[in-house]
Structure 1
Amino acid sequence: MREEEIEKLRGVVGDCVSKHLYSSAIFFADKVAAITSDPADIYMQAQALFLGRHYRRAFHLLNASHVVLRDLRFRYLAAKCLEELKEWDQCLLMLGDAKVDEHGNVHDTKDSNVVYLDKDGEDREINISSAICFLRGKAYEALENRSQARQWYKAAIKADPLCYEALERLIENHMLTCEEETTLLSSLQFSAEDGWISSFYSCLVKKYDKENVVEAKFSELEQEGCNVKPSEKSLMRTLKNNTDLLACKAEYYHQCGEYQKCFELTSILLENDPFHLKCTLVHLAAAMELGHSNELYLMACNLVKDYPQKALSWFAVGCYYYCIKKYDQSRRYFSKASNLDGTFPPAWIGFGNAYAAQEEGDQAMSAYRTAARLFPGCHLPTLYIGMEYMRTHSFKLAEQFLMQAKAICSADPLVYNELGVVAYHMKEYKKAVWWFEKTLALVPSSLSEMWESTVVNLAHALRKLKRYREAITYYEKALAISTRSLSTYAGLAYTYHLEDHFTAAITYYHKALWLKPDDQFCTEMLTLALADECRFGVRTEIDSHSSDEIFI
């Protein structure tokens, strides 16, 4: 057969692949490889078999060729076949012998066939070495060796910063702390034209202050007038409205307790891209916090219909049942989600929260400890362990785990709030004031109802330190956030009472009792305040008459 005819057949194979006609591609690729015996044509045939899901046959074809020992592409595709067959140990053997250190740097051993850190340069292809590192990471993660998986994912993103999947695994599976994420990003070597990718990654890895990061990074790049072309500036402005980026902003709102703003933003995003799964997860979390059970029900139904094999779908069902306080059912579906994907953090945390809601502390602790082991970069499991210990009045243990959560993520205001509560219960009021003030310094200036209890707790601690004027200021701030808090009215009344401002105290005791008429503390203190005002009034009147006589 003439070379022109063979080249035409190769074109047919490529066209069949592009049109997803894999059986046709396999048929013609087989004929081309039989005619030429060219390694490139054998690779093309193996590619067609792989895309047609004939993994065992593709692996046999590659392995039978001696080229697999010399060509990285052959070795990588053979390992991909073993990945699909879930033969993870064999997959690692096929990739060859190499080691990675804790910084994500690869060190070859005697197997010199695999070259990891050679950049692919001008054609802008993803470095094959980076893809191999990533596949090693997936294999180790499947074998539950998460420490090795973490190192290989870091090696993959360092070998080529364009290997986004490696970064996604590290972030979504909470394999790194906030500080480690920042360090990793700063170590990546981006080319001059990839500045926008660096900015985008900055927004993805930051778990807090995302809104500021988004604005600051893009403003910084837009101001680089001499180094940035006008067309690139236009690209940056366009990307500021990208769904991935706005999903990060929604996540920022959720973590700050701005649940309504988060829900509104994710609702808009999902109208434009209803199948954006990261945005869907944030939307579910916000809807659950706001108690929107109807929205959760509809989302869960749609997800189960469209993605029955995804953990997110059954997590949504669990969220719905948790929202309507059917905790047994919610546990069942959170458990199903974790069984489908053991690396899905929300399922494990939801599982523990469902137990905690029914005060089944041992089971909740077990779920949280599993999550803490699986996701060392996620501070929420240790935070919730601390909160469980606080619920059982084990304040020293609670403080220990809360400090661990702070070490993992030092920017979450909820951690500081819980440390303040622990300090208050341990009667360390100065420390409690410091923690509560730190909490309020980390949240947005427009406080939402989520942080009303923090303001009240700070006022309580100040009252304990006899800093009554400051305490009253914070009680009034709490009333500006919510006028339906018994604790705020009772605390404000008691503070005025301690200052001998009996009229104001009586007023606020009455307001507290209007919210809860049978509150024992306010009832007793109102009686005392009325008696104190009566005695004070009589004493004042006597003093007034005495003064008049002296004056006369």
Structure 2
Amino acid sequence: MSANSPNTSTLTISPLVTKKKSKDYFQTPPFAPHNTQQNPQHHHRLFSSPNISKTTTTTATNSAHPLSNEDEEIPLTQADKLRLWRHDALMQHHYVTAIYVGDKVLSLTDDPNDAFWLAQVHYSNGNYQIARNLLSGPKFEDSVSCRYLAGLCLIKLEKFDEALDIIGEVNPFKADHSIKNPDGGIKLEASMCYLRGLIYSKQNNFEKAKECYKEAVLVDVKCFEAFSELVSNHLMTPDEEWELLNLLNFDDADNNNELVKLLYTTRLNKYKNVNLFEEAEQRLKDEYSLNENVDILLSRADLLFIQCRFQQCLELCEKIIQKDELNLSVLPNYLSCLHELGGKNKLFLMAHKLAENYPNHCITWLAIGIYYFSIKKTNDARMFFSKASMLNPNFGPAWIGFSHTFAAEGEHEQAISAYATASRLFPGIHLPNLFLGMQYLQMNNLTLAHEYLMSSYFICPTDPLLLNELGVLYYHRAQLSKAESFFQRALGAAKNLDSDAKAWSSIHCNLGHVYRRLNIHDKALNHFQKVLRISRKDVNVHSAIGLLYLKIGKISKAIEVLHIALSIQPNDPIALDLLNKSLESNLHITNKKLLSDNLSLTGVRQSSNIAFESSSSSLPPKAQVLQTPLNKPVKNLKFIGEDKKRDLDLIVEDLKRGEDSSDDDDDDDEIMEIESD
């Protein structure tokens, strides 16, 4: 197969294998002992060729791989020896040597392969423009490897349109992808597809980038760069990820096909098919002894984070950090867990450590932003999140953090704009659409709230926060049965996650309000009591319980509970007005009883032909005092039970709109607590 074929890799043109024959093989250099005096003939070259000489090879391998007569060595040419010198210098990062020798090799041969390796030295040394100039010209245009490296240099120079001209807007090698790579490396065709996707991503054309990345990994499953871009940046929905996995040809990995498939399975989205992930994880531990491999631990941390098991996720992240102190891949989950669990000191320390070691990395600015957001310095946090997103426009946590800063300040329009950008950039995660739905819900735009919440629901139908928000949506739509269903599912999901009960107390509160509206008072009281067992300082819950006692006629209990609410927050308007209603109701009941007693006394006097009006002076002093409200009712005063058309649920609405309001759609909005942060 031609060295310039897109179905080969750069191994084909590597100077480590020369004079290729049917029985050539790639040889790993033997282990170099520290005591070189015991091996005076040991060669210290990092890389060796099996075609150097029969004597050298036999000595270097301690006669472990003697050459047969069929493999008679052909002496290396002058150019071959220079190539090995250049390559060994490159591997040891002796760039001046590699450039000097590589230039002489290219002058001797004028071979595109030698131009590629010399440009590779310049690229490794950061001389992208020199490498690009070296690869320009018609004599190198037919070399696939030269075109690939030239495109890579132009991307580093941010000349994306020129890079696309060299790489091509579409794959020029589209053919049968089943052609196997004979040298065991990554097909150059797949690498060029990946590079094309990288260019489109830099140009913010994410749909085309996604298609190019998919084509790259379909051409050669060993092109992990493309697979990682798809998965890490959430460019596909969970269904699309699993569909792609089923289309991949793992035979490209030869006898590692099963291992690679299991590894790729653990990298997929954890929103669905968790059982398949756990099966793959277990097989990697049992069959391949990868129990403590960092990537396997990272996949488990992703699952725990999605399941909101923040404490367990934090512990696993800390275990990974102990193995690899500055592992950047684990930090987004680690930082988020610290924020969720209030670990401000650890956030501060990690931010400083990252600033010392990675001052220009997006994860550093993310860590600083999360720290400032945790200590309520929202403006400072926004600045650092913005810096992180500028350093890496595809960095999802930075975009979501940036959006949160606007949401925390009630800046709905700016928050919606930022969340919408995150939703467009990362279609594979449900969080941006969830937060968009929450923002529209707070703005009382129920139509758009429903649209975004359902989009999030199709991606991740098991998130308790999402289920709770859907319940709130249907509550505001007065679809109480649907609201009850989603709240119950949210409660079940929260229990299954084994998360902190305090985090989901608002679901009990919301269920209490649903049952109150459905007049199922015992269930409503039960859920409100569960909230109080978690937090007894919630004035809204005490007010809601007082309202329930008012509805069922337990006035004295209502007064008692509302007094507790006012002891927590003395100026709470809801509790104050409900207490006034309770006291008025209690007064009305007392007056009715006294009136009944009064009428009995009046009947006795009427039998003696004594007028009731002239006998008021003979009533007990207490009765005389309490007669006044009955004879002269207070203006606009309405007692419970007097106006049967009036529902007690309107009490809270009266507090906001006045006595004459009869709109019940937004009942008890001030009392109802929503888990929306």
Using the TM superposition, give the Cα deviation of residue 68 of structure 1 relative to its aligned residue in structure 2, in angstroms.
3.0
The residue aligned with 1:200 is 263
Determine the structure 2 residue equivalent to 1:189.
249
Aligned to 2:511: 458
Q: How many residues align?
A: 513
Instruction: Provide the residue aligned with 1:546 in structure 2.
Output: none
With over 3 angstroms needed to count, the CA separation of the structure-2 counterparts of 1:6 and 1:290, relative to structure 1, is same
Distance 2:333 2:180 in 1: 37
Q: Does the 8 Å contact 2:231/2:269 carry over to 1?
A: no
Query: How far has the Cα of 1:142 moved from its partner?
Result: 1.2
1:54-453 matched pairs, under 5 angstroms: 54-64=127-137, 66-69=139-142, 71-96=143-168, 98=170, 108=172, 117=177, 119-121=179-181, 123-191=183-251, 193-208=256-271, 213-219=276-282, 221=283, 233-235=286-288, 238-445=289-496, 446-448=498-500, 449-453=502-506
Contact 1:43 1:74 in 2 (8 A): yes
Q: CA deviation at 1:480?
A: 5.3
* Structure 1 portions without partners, runs of 5+: 100-107, 223-231, 540-552
Deviation of 1:150 after TM superposition, in Å, equals: 1.0
**Distance (Å, rounded) in 2 between the aligned partners of 1:500 and 1:194:** 72
What TM-score results when the alignment is normalised by the length of structure 1? 0.83
Q: Which moved more, 1:424-433 or 1:260-269?
A: 260-269
| Mapped partners of 2:561, 2:99: distance in 1 | 82
| Change in CA separation of 1:74 and 1:270 when aligned onto 2, cut-off 3 Å | same
Contact 1:158 1:189 in 2 (8 A): yes
Q: Which amino acid aligns with 1:92?
A: L
Q: Distance in 2 between matches of 1:483 and 1:185?
A: 50
Could you tell me which amino acid in structure 2 is paired with residue 128 of structure 1?
A: L
User: Are the equivalent residues in 2 in contact too, given 1:23–1:52 (CA < 8 A)?
Assistant: no
**1:442-463 C-alpha deviation (Å, 9 max, x unpaired):** 3342342222212221232123
Q: Which amino acid aligns with 1:454?
A: I
Q: In the alignment, is residue 29 of structure 1 matched against residue 82 of structure 2? A: no
Which residue type is aligned with residue 124 of structure 1?
G
Aligned-pair CA distance for 1:471: 3.3
Question: Percent of pairs identical after alignment?
Answer: 33
Kindly indicate whether the alpha-carbon contact (under 8 Å) linking 2:235 and 2:427 is maintained by their aligned counterparts in 1.
Answer: yes
User: Aligned-pair distance for 1:57?
Assistant: 2.9
Matched position secondary structure for 2:250: coil
1:469-491, Cα deviation, whole Å (9 max, x unpaired): 43344345445554544444544
Query: CA contact under 8 A between 2:339 and 2:374: conserved in structure 1?
Result: yes
Contact in 1 for aligned 2:112/2:139 (Cα 8 Å) = no
1:215: how far off? 2.6
Structure 1: distance between partners of 2:273 and 2:298: 10
Shift of 1:527: 7.4
| Paired position in structure 2 for 1:474 | 527
SS state at 1:338 partner? helix
Given that residues 383 and 402 in structure 1 are in contact (C-alpha distance below 8 angstroms), is that contact kept between their aligned partners in structure 2? Answer: yes
Deviation at 1:522, TM superposition (A): 4.5
Give 5+ residue unaligned stretches, structure 2: 1-74, 594-677
Distance in 2 (alpha carbons) for counterparts of 1:429 and 1:352: 31
* Residue 86 (structure 2) aligns with: 13
Secondary structure in structure 1 of the residue aligned to 2:360: coil
Partner of 2:664: none
Output one character per residue of 1:324-378: Cα deviation in whole Å (capped at 9) or x when no partner: 1111111111121222222212222222211221222222222222222333333
Counterpart amino acid of residue 175 in structure 1: L
Change (3 A) 1:360 1:85: same
Cα gap change, 1:143/1:424 in structure 2, threshold over 3 Å: closer, same or farther?
A: same
Whether contact under 8 Å (2:155, 2:163) holds in the other structure is yes
User: How far is the alpha carbon of 1:135 from its aligned partner?
Assistant: 0.3
* Offset from partner CA, 1:208-251 (integer Å, 9 cap, x none): 368755433334x47xxxxxxxxx8441xx32433233233333
Structure in which a larger fraction of residues adopt helix: 1
Offset at residue 394 of structure 1 (A): 2.3
The CA deviation string for residues 372-419 of structure 1, in whole angstroms up to 9 with x for no partner, is: 233333332232222222222222332222223223443433222111
Change (3 A) 1:342 1:39: closer
**Contact residue 210 and residue 252 of structure 1 kept, 8 A:** no
Greater RCO between the two (CA within 8 Å, min separation 6)? 2
Partner Cα separation in structure 2 for residue 501 and residue 124 of structure 1: 81
CA separation of 1:97/1:170 partners in 2, compared to 1, >3 Å: closer, same or farther? closer
RMSD: 3.2
Mapped partners of 2:81, 2:236: distance in 1: 50
SS of the equivalent of 1:98 reads: coil
CA drift at 1:196: 3.5
Amino acid at match of 1:195: E
Hey, what's the Cα distance between the residues in 1 that align with 2:272 and 2:316?
17
- When normalised by structure 2's length, the TM-score is 0.68
How many Å separate the matches in 1 of 2:586 and 2:421? 56
* CA deviation map 1:116-154 (0-9, x unaligned): 835444643222221111100001111221111111011
Q: Is the 8 A contact 1:178 1:408 kept in 2?
A: yes
Q: Which residue of 1 aligns with 2:623?
A: none
